[in-house]
Amino acid sequence: MIDINSETYIEDIIELLKIIGFYEHEEKRTESGIIKEYKYHSSLLYEKHYRMVTFTYHNSIEDIYKRTSTEFRLYVNTNKNGAFCESPFQLSTHIEENRKLILEKLNSRFVNELTCYNRAKKLDLFE
């Protein structure tokens, strides 16, 4: 279970993405922050694939209050030409309610993948 208030929340969500089947496709460092793109080709979507884009940046208010924020953006694209189809969510983690929503949306959208993983884990198919 992922704790939405944990300091490792971002890493835990990335690990959940990897359990689902996402792999890191690309990383870019810009002046604004770090952009990472993860892809997942689901056997259930045949003609489409998922892209999760994370954008991590630092923000501050007059150098007094500093924090690191990460935005999670889930997209669905076609395999044929990579065209955009839909964006199930675009949420930033600096708001507690958004951290809950990210977890809920991943769990509901990828319920089949997570169910298979949990069954395999119970059967000791993973070390």
pLDDT digits (tens, 9 = 90+) for 16-67: 999 999 999 999 999 889 999 999 988 766 788 899 999 998 876 666 667 7
Please state the domain extents for the chain.
Answer: 23-122
pLDDT tens per residue, range 76-109: 998 888 888 899 999 999 889 999 999 999 999 8
pLDDT of residue 79: 84
- Max CA distance (Å), the chain: 53
CB under 8 A, 24+ apart: contacts of 83-89? 85/48
pLDDT of residue 48: 87
Please tell me whether residue 126 adopts helix, strand or coil conformation: coil
Q: In sequence order, what are the residues at sequence separation of 6 or more whose Cβ sits closer than 8 angstroms to the Cβ of residue 37?
A: 24, 25, 26, 27, 51, 52, 53
pLDDT tens per residue, range 113-123: 888 887 777 77
CB under 8 A, 24+ apart: contacts of 29-36? 32/57, 33/57, 33/58
Residue 116 structure tokens: 């298979």
Q: In sequence order, what are the residues at sequence separation of 6 or more whose Cβ sits closer than 8 angstroms to the Cβ of residue 1?
A: none
pLDDT of residue 101: 94
The answer to whether residue 127 scores a pLDDT higher than 70 is: no
pTM: 0.81
